[in-house]
Amino acid sequence: MNLVNFAYGLLLLLAAFVFQTTLTGINRKVVARLQRRRGPKFYQQFIDIFKALSKGSTTHGWVFDFGVIMALGGIMATAIFIPFGPLKAVPGMDNIFIIAYVLAVGMLGMAMSASGSGNPWASIGVSRALTNMLAYDIPFMMVVFGLIFAFDSSSLSGLAAIQREGGLLGWNVLRFPLGGIVAMISLQGMLGKKPFDSFIAPAEIASGPMVEYGGRHLGMLFLLHEYSTFIEVSLIVHLFFGGGATVLEFMVKYAVIYTFLNLVSNVLPRFKIDQAVTFFYKVPLAMAVVQTFLIIFLGMGVA
Amino acid sequence: MKEVKLFLGPQHPGMHGNYSAHMYVEGDIINKSYALPGMLHRGFEKLMERRHWMGNLALIPRICVIEPDPNEMVYAMSIEKLAAIEVPERAHWIRMIILELARLAANLMSIGGIGAPVGLYTSVYWGVADRDLILDIFEKITGARVYHMYIVPGGVRKDLPEGIEEEILDLLDYIEGRLPEFYDLVMRSPIFQTRTRDNILLPEEVVWELGVTGIGMRSAVNREYDIRKVKPYARYDQVEFSLPYGPYSDAFTRVDFKYIEMAQSISIIRQSIEKMPKDGPVRAKIATGSALRWQVPPGMVYSCVESARGEYGYLVVSDGGEMPYRIAVRGSSYPQGLMGVEKYLPGHRIDDASLWMDTMGVCAPEIDR
Amino acid sequence: MTTNAKDVRKTWEKIADYFRAHSIWMKWYCTGCGAIEMPPTMTSRFDMERLGMGPMATPRQADVLLITGYLSAKTLRRVIYSYEQMQDPKYVVGFGSCTLNGGIYFDSYATMTRLDHYLPVDLYIAGCMPRPEAIMNSFDTLIKMIEKGEAKGWKHYQENHEWYRRNQLHSLKEVYVKDEFHE
Amino acid sequence: MNSTNKLVEEIRQRFEIIDVIHPDDQQVILDIDKMHLHTLLSHLKADGFRQLSLLSAVDWIKDNIFELVYIVFNWDTGVHVLARVKLPRDNPRFRTITPIYPGAQYYERDVHEFFGIEFEGNPMSYKPLFLELWDEMPPMRKDFDPEAYSREKFPERVYVPHFVPKVEVIE
Amino acid sequence: MTFDIVVILMFLGAFSAYLISKASLKAGAYATTVFSLGALAVLLMGRSEIGSEFSVLFMNFEVTVIGWYFSGVMVLVYAMTSFFNSFWMDKMMYPGSYNFLYLFSLAGTLGLFFASDLITLFIFWEVVVWSSTFIIPMGKSRRAAVVYYTISSIGSMATLYGIMLVYRISGTLVIQEAFVPLKEDPLTATVVFVIFVMAGLTKIGIFPFHIWLPLAHGSAPHTFSPVLSGGLVKMGAFIAYMSVAILPAYEAFEGSLKIMGIPLQLYFLMILGAISIVLGTLMAIKQEDAKKLIAYSSVANGGYILIGILMMDQLSFAGSMMHLFNHAIASAAAFLAIAVVAYRTGTTKISELGGMIHRMPLTYLTYLIAIISLAGIPPMGGFVSKWLIIQGLADRGLMFMALAAFFGSIGSFLYVFRPLAAVFLGQLKPEHEHLKSEPLMMKIPMVILMVLILYFGVLPKWLLGIIGEIQVAAGIEPVMMSGNTILAVNGVLNTLNVFMIFGFGFLISLIIFLLMQKSRRVGLMDTYTSAEFIYTPELYHYAGAFYAPFERLYQNHPSVEKFLGAIAWKFHELGTVVNALFFSHKPAVTVFWTSVILVMITLGGAGI
């Protein structure tokens, strides 16, 4: 760890921000087409974020501010761990368990800040978000556990490199199709897209945790959202789609997956939170356990 | 304190219109709730007493913005009854077309809008966009998109423009073609079904206790209780249509019935265009008083029509003067919107509160007046 | 503040105004009939998102408050409360003749007659009710106004808060009602 | 008129009806003494008139009376019955009908708010419903002038010119 | 020869604390602090004397690394908690006895960890059980003490029986030698193992012996709960360690059926651990009382520790040992934070509190850091230990344990966040408007614990070094570290780097925050209410049934408590029947039934 690492990390952060925000903007256009309209400019998302940051804001005490800073800081730190295709800011730190737990710092900060606003809608939203996390994370972690056992590595880039050796058929999504499906469903939950977005449901709880945010707090929340999307989609790209030997390959894979999930999300209603938990524990968890069982006891799919 | 006091509205994304429900929530179950109406109260009943019979034509559609035409119809019907005016035959049929188009527009908005509480925004976009095509037809017929002031005492304001029948038929074909798409998007979605099936029940006793009408009533009491059938106005007795009814009313059934009713509305409009006399007068003269200052004979009459949400009625009292003496409005969602919220929203979850409002058909402006 | 810092501030405000103009989040308070023309404006046919506008759930997140029609005294209190919760800079758009002069309800005992006595209105849209085309046009105007830095209603409200507050109190008696009457 | 005639005959046998009007063939207006209204409504409810469509009042200021109108509806025959009772305008009080039609609760509250008629036995009806901080006489009374009230409450004010917000009117 | 002094001194200290309390209660309470701090200092200085042996009266002691480590954890928790004792002196029924028992139990645990023969072990075990049994009812409920004593006596009886069994086989009570002959006899080894482990399980609170934990923790005096959860529970871990490492279980069960390389006996215990994790998590999520909530979290964390100990490998075992320390201080810190709240407000019910951050920010910070560690989020200590345990599990491929571990660690977000949101954040109740901040004496231990939690999360090297020594002593490969990097089979963890990147992210985020326009401070009640007006803060605070939709999914679960309750109820009914039959107010009835039974017994005996 020296200054070069930090500078590199900062660059990666910038790149991730530009990439993901542009993609979000393009996706808003794509979704608009699905809904038979034109949609905003592709750089609308940038304008939105900067506008929000430039506005005045209100605060409900130090924990309201501190939570937001902690959340964005935690998520940015996580984003530094994530390899951007072949590029890595800090070598040897892309351990999947570290990323999974570091990601939680952002969540905790966000939850803390939302509850710190003293608004019950926000607290309900947070309680739903945490429940949601309990639902989607366990099938996902189960599948990841199987992968780690199969390849004796818990490093993202390491796992991606192993997949690329086998060419297209070496992709984990093809080697372990059940696990791939579970991961995609879990990703939908992680991203908070429908049908698993009950924690920000506007019609039920007035957008939940975000209820009290405005101005710079909201802008930082948008930044946080972009980064966490980047982290989560990247995880799947690395774990199941062979990562990227080049930056371009990574970006293409990433964009395809993200757009696909976005389209799916726009033709589905949302689950209630307990229905989401039941769903995750019935279907994906069972699939994940079967997949892991196949890997560990039968060695199926392990080359 | 285990309970939290939460507000659904007036300015909450889950509430349609300027209306509020105060909910005492424990965990996510609503323990107590009260409706807080009056945010849209404009004092219509008072204002109508201060306008001439004709001036009121501009005022009345504004009572319920979602489906204004039943207002015009009940107002016209009341005056016609009091003054014993015979409405020309063609006007009856035109009225039916207008009313059914309005019902279609309201139902389209509502089946699109069901996407909002369950989070399926694509259906909102589609539904509202298709409704706009109906508004275009209205604009061609009446000159206005929303408040038409077209059905007037004695008939309709003016005749249909030339060639509008074909346009209406084309539009109906289009909407009929779109309905299956909506059905696939919303009703066939397993997630939508898990949310709405066996949820937000409306038992028959509750219907009678509150006085719920419309789709809510028909889906619960297993009878075809519709003003158009029970007490036909205009020429509803001369067209064939059958309305859905059933003994078990959950949220899904009530939304489902709206689809069937839309198909029936389309069929009614087609029949009306077919059976309508091709020409003839569309407006009878109001007998007494000057052209602008009518005088309506004294008396009291209650007239009602079936709006998209149920029985919609006016009690009109005239003392023979140039202005109405008193008009009382029965909004069709008055029972479920006030007493229903107080007695039957409790026990549901906050996840469902918005869906409750939506599928029960609570429409704020007609409650507040 | 030195002139240099002032210049920086001015440039910064100009840049910020560009962003504010092209990303307007609205709090769509359905106060009245005008609300019925908002869904067409927002959805596929007129597609307001082209202008970078979109609905937001709470006033904290929103930039522009749309007063879509007549305001009864009861609503006016809540609208003022909502407006005060919004973050600067904030804009108000009054829809329809009801907000201009009371419109058809000019003699009603329940509705107020002129919105800019109570809140600083940046833009009125005439008509009963304004058509989606008119709404789109007005948003276009609003964007231009913000870009030029003309939409300064919120500053007026800050500077003349007493005057507004006096009007509000005169018409409403209390702005923040302790409202437990119906329970 | 068959169905309504039969109905009216039947009611006439049991109750003292002051006056009967037929506005149309599926509607009957019954003027009845306020002593008998509750029994009449109970009877009608048992007879198939299960729905209370509307409860409202009319202010006959010249005669110095309030007239309460109860509209009940029979879904099977499609007949509306409008039962009317008269109350003195000075001290308008009546008994609630919520035991017969529970749905009347909010209608009574509505009438109480707008006319000032008190319904004994319905404590909820004494609370305001639509209006907030109302300080005048009930607004639906004929002697209430809404325009004057509006002028007083929401007056046209004069702006001090130097801070008039720039208001632009389009279209 | 410092350790014998410590043990003896602690006993003397206990008595002197009692005597001082007779003079002045406050002084007595401070005496507990002084004595336990003294013990801590002696322990830390005496690290070089590990391996020494000594005996007091007939009891023999040996200072092992593990004993030293455990006693260090224990004394640390005792010392930190003792700062709080003085505040509860006037609320306790027998404050003098409390001070006495507090130090007495500490002395008991020290003796237990240093015991080198089984009899000594048993004696000190009983000392701890008895002294804590008398402390628990000083809080709220006597029933808790009864349950605690019942479960503990299961453990005591099991230990006693195990000791006798071992003595019969090997003829010696010296711990290091007594178990040697068992290696040849797997069946007896299994029996001994099960008996000893059962004693451990009762203390650590593993399913199905977990029922005493929430009851005792929840109703013990606020100052004793941290000790119970952070300290005494770890005695069970010590016993479990002894059964696995000293027996040594892996060698004794070499021949038995193996699942993923784990002998069946151990695998079964691991499953119990896994059940405890899931059960503790689920139960903690639905608790309404903050203390019970943390108590159930102790059940879940006990599961982690047990699984790690049973693995006896390089990673998980090290993780488990480290978790033991991390959990002890984090759980103690959390309990202390709740104790502060309880001291000021008089309640620990989550739904009766709210907005405490506005009155006691330091307590909030302590709780926050404690729960970050409990939930295993970096950069706190809990993260390192959980990471090690999970890496070990992934290495072996123990998928069901891993499933439970994942469930436990994500579920822990849910339950630790609930008091955070509902007690510390949210609306301040009107009745708590005039609360004072926490007293200085309470701040000291909280700050120390905070620093420790953070320090061992960022720089765990020292701690892992000791754990490596323990592992060497237990005959397994020690955990590897190079610089600040922990080397695991499947990956590496550089805690310092994680912390630095964290700081970096935090810094960028702070810069963004500060660059932008300043915020306007508004009150808590100026908040989004759907534009309605609210004047009652207590009604605008979401605290009760926080995870209601999730709780509803398992509200009708079967539970050990219900089962035992049902049995107790059956006995109660039987008693009523017997009472009615034999002891009614008419003596004739009693005589009749007694004679009937006598006749039947006689006849039955004759029949045979």
Same domain, E225 and E328: yes
Q: Kindly state the average pLDDT of the residues E168-190.
A: 76
**Residue A53 neighbours by CB under 8 Å, 6+ apart:** A215, A216, A219, A220, E512, E516
Q: Kindly state the average pLDDT of the residues E250-267.
A: 72
Residues of chain C positioned with their CB less than 8 A from the CB of E533? 77-78, 81, 176-179
Count Cβ atoms below 10 Å from residue B248 Cβ, excluding itself: 14
Q: b/e map of B10-33 (b: 16 or more CB within 10 Å)?
A: bbbbbbbbbbbbbbbbbbbbbeeb
CA distance E250 to E266: 9
The dihedral over CA atoms of B113, B119, B121, B123, expressed in degrees to the nearest 10, equals -50
Q: Are strands B29-36 and B20-26 parallel, antiparallel or unpaired?
A: antiparallel
Task: Report the gap between the CA of C61 and the closest CA in chain E (Å).
Answer: 11
Q: Are strands E485-487 and E492-494 parallel, antiparallel or unpaired?
A: antiparallel
Q: b/e map of A177-191 (b: 16 or more CB within 10 Å)?
A: ebbbbbbbbbbbbbb
pLDDT of residue E119: 81
CA–CA–CA angle A204, A210, A213 (5° rounding)? 140
CA distance B341 to B7: 13
- Does chain E touch chain C (at least 3 C-beta pairs within 8 Å)? yes
Q: Inspect the interface and report whether the beta carbons of E530 and B15 lie closer than 8 Å.
A: yes
Task: Report the gap between the CA of D105 and the closest CA in chain C (Å).
Answer: 13
In a domain, D76, yes or no: yes
pLDDT of residue D89: 84
* Res D165 pLDDT > 70: no
Same domain, E108 and E122: no
Task: Report the gap between the CA of C169 and the closest CA in chain B (Å).
Answer: 18
Q: Does B126 touch chain A (CB under 8 A)?
A: yes
Q: Does E543 touch chain B (CB under 8 A)?
A: yes
Q: How far is CA A274 from CA A26, A279, E90, E550, in A?
A: 33, 8, 47, 6
pLDDT of residue D171: 47
Order of strands, sheet of B326-330, starting from the edge strand that comes earlier in the sequence: B299-307, B310-318, B326-330
| The total number of structural domains that make up chain E | 3
CA distance B356 to B351: 9
Same domain, E104 and E156: no
Q: Kindly state the average pLDDT of the residues B352-357.
A: 85
Structure token pair of residue D3: 């169905």
Domain of residue E71, residue span: 1-114
* Res B1 pLDDT > 80: no
In a domain, D90, yes or no: yes
Q: What interface predicted TM-score (ipTM) does this complex get?
A: 0.85
In a domain, E534, yes or no: no
> D6 — phi, psi (to 5°)?
-60, -45
pTM across the whole model? 0.87
Tell me if C108 sits within 8 A of C73, measured CB to CB.
no
Q: Does B189 touch chain C (CB under 8 A)?
A: no
Q: Describe the crossing of helices B69-83 and B89-113 by its angle, rounded to 10 degrees.
A: 150
| The total number of structural domains that make up chain D | 1
Q: Inspect the interface and report whether the beta carbons of A210 and C23 lie closer than 8 Å.
A: no
Instruction: Please give the span between the terminal C-alpha atoms of chain E, in angstroms, as a whole number.
Output: 67
Q: Kindly state the average pLDDT of the residues E106-133.
A: 81
Share of chain B above pLDDT 70, in %: 98
Residues of chain B positioned with their CB less than 8 A from the CB of C27? 11
Same domain, E124 and E107: no
Domain of residue D102, residue span: 2-150
**Residue E96 neighbours by CB under 8 Å, 6+ apart:** E18, E21, E22, E25, E28
| Among C103, C115, C33, C138, CA closest to B144 | C33
CA distance E519 to A10: 27
Nearest CA in chain E to C60: E528
**Residue E42 neighbours by CB under 8 Å, 6+ apart:** E2, E3, E5, E6
Q: Describe the crossing of helices E399-419 and E290-311 by its angle, rounded to 10 degrees.
A: 160
Tell me if A119 sits within 8 A of A212, measured CB to CB.
yes
For all residues of chain A together, what is the average pLDDT? Answer: 84
Q: b/e map of E469-478 (b: 16 or more CB within 10 Å)?
A: bbbeebebeb
pLDDT of residue E380: 82
Same domain, E266 and E328: yes
Q: Inspect the interface and report whether the beta carbons of B66 and C30 lie closer than 8 Å.
A: no
Q: Inspect the interface and report whether the beta carbons of A204 and B351 lie closer than 8 Å.
A: yes
CA distance A71 to A109: 4
Share of chain A above pLDDT 70, in %: 98
Pick the range with the lowest mean pLDDT from B150-154, B207-211, B323-327, E579-583: E579-583
With bands split at pLDDT 50, 70 and 90, how would you rate the model's confidence at C181? low
Residues of chain A positioned with their CB less than 8 A from the CB of C49? 28, 32, 37, 39-40
Residues of chain E positioned with their CB less than 8 A from the CB of A289? 399, 403
Same domain, E55 and E148: no
**Residue E177 neighbours by CB under 8 Å, 6+ apart:** E170
Count Cβ atoms below 10 Å from residue E198 Cβ, excluding itself: 22
Q: Are strands E485-487 and E480-482 parallel, antiparallel or unpaired?
A: antiparallel
Same domain, E371 and E280: yes
Q: Kindly state the average pLDDT of the residues E23-47.
A: 78
Domain of residue B145, residue span: 3-368
In a domain, A245, yes or no: yes
DSSP structural state of residue E115: B
| Among B237, B254, B233, B236, CA closest to B245 | B254
Q: Does D130 touch chain B (CB under 8 A)?
A: yes
Structure token pair of residue B122: 């694509």
Same domain, E438 and E297: yes
Q: Kindly state the average pLDDT of the residues E497-519.
A: 83
| The total number of structural domains that make up chain B | 1
* Res D162 pLDDT > 70: no
Kindly report, residue by residue over E328-383, the tens digit of the pLDDT. 888 888 888 888 888 888 888 888 888 888 888 888 888 888 888 888 887 888 88
Please give the domain boundaries of chain C with CATH numbers for all domains.
Answer: 3-172 (3.40.50.12280)
Task: Report the gap between the CA of D150 and the closest CA in chain C (Å).
Answer: 5
In a domain, A303, yes or no: no
Whether the upstream peptide bond of residue E378 has omega within 30° of 0, thus cis, is: no
Domain of residue A282, residue span: 3-298
List the CATH number of the domain containing B344: 1.10.645.10
CA distance E34 to E13: 9
Q: Inspect the interface and report whether the beta carbons of C57 and A202 lie closer than 8 Å.
A: yes
User: Hey, what amino acid is at E478?
Assistant: P
With bands split at pLDDT 50, 70 and 90, how would you rate the model's confidence at A241? confident
Q: Does E519 touch chain C (CB under 8 A)?
A: no
> E494 — phi, psi (to 5°)?
-105, 100
* Res B289 pLDDT > 70: no
Chain Cα centroid distance, residue C169: 20
Same domain, E48 and E133: no
Task: Report the gap between the CA of A77 and the closest CA in chain B (Å).
Answer: 32
Chains in contact with chain D (at least 3 beta-carbon pairs closer than 8 A): B, C
Structure token pair of residue C72: 């009864």
* Res C156 pLDDT > 60: yes
Same domain, E125 and E174: yes
pLDDT of residue C99: 83
Q: Inspect the interface and report whether the beta carbons of E528 and C179 lie closer than 8 Å.
A: no
CA distance A115 to E527: 12
CA distance E148 to E152: 6
Task: Report the gap between the CA of D160 and the closest CA in chain B (Å).
Answer: 30
- Could you tell me the sign of the dihedral formed by the alpha carbons of C81, C85, C88, C93, in that order? negative
Kindly report, residue by residue over C11-37, the tens digit of the pLDDT. 888 888 888 888 888 887 777 777 788
Q: Does D112 touch chain B (CB under 8 A)?
A: no
Q: Does C45 touch chain D (CB under 8 A)?
A: no
Kindly report, residue by residue over C60-84, the tens digit of the pLDDT. 888 888 888 888 888 888 888 888 8
In a domain, D157, yes or no: no
pLDDT of residue E608: 52
Same domain, E61 and E180: no
Test the D interface: residue of C109, C143, C177 with most D CBs within 10 Å: C109
Same domain, E125 and E109: no
Whether the upstream peptide bond of residue A195 has omega within 30° of 0, thus cis, is: yes
| Among E155, E154, E40, E150, CA closest to E103 | E40
Count Cβ atoms below 10 Å from residue C161 Cβ, excluding itself: 11
Nearest CA in chain A to E282: A134
CA distance E406 to B309: 50
List the CATH number of the domain containing D114: 3.30.460.80
pLDDT of residue E3: 66
Tell me if B357 sits within 8 A of B200, measured CB to CB.
no
For all residues of chain E together, what is the average pLDDT? Answer: 80
**Residue in B18, B58, B146 nearest the CB of C30:** B18
Q: Does B353 touch chain E (CB under 8 A)?
A: no
Chain Cα centroid distance, residue E98: 20
Q: Which residue has the tokens 């791939």?
A: A180
pLDDT of residue A275: 86
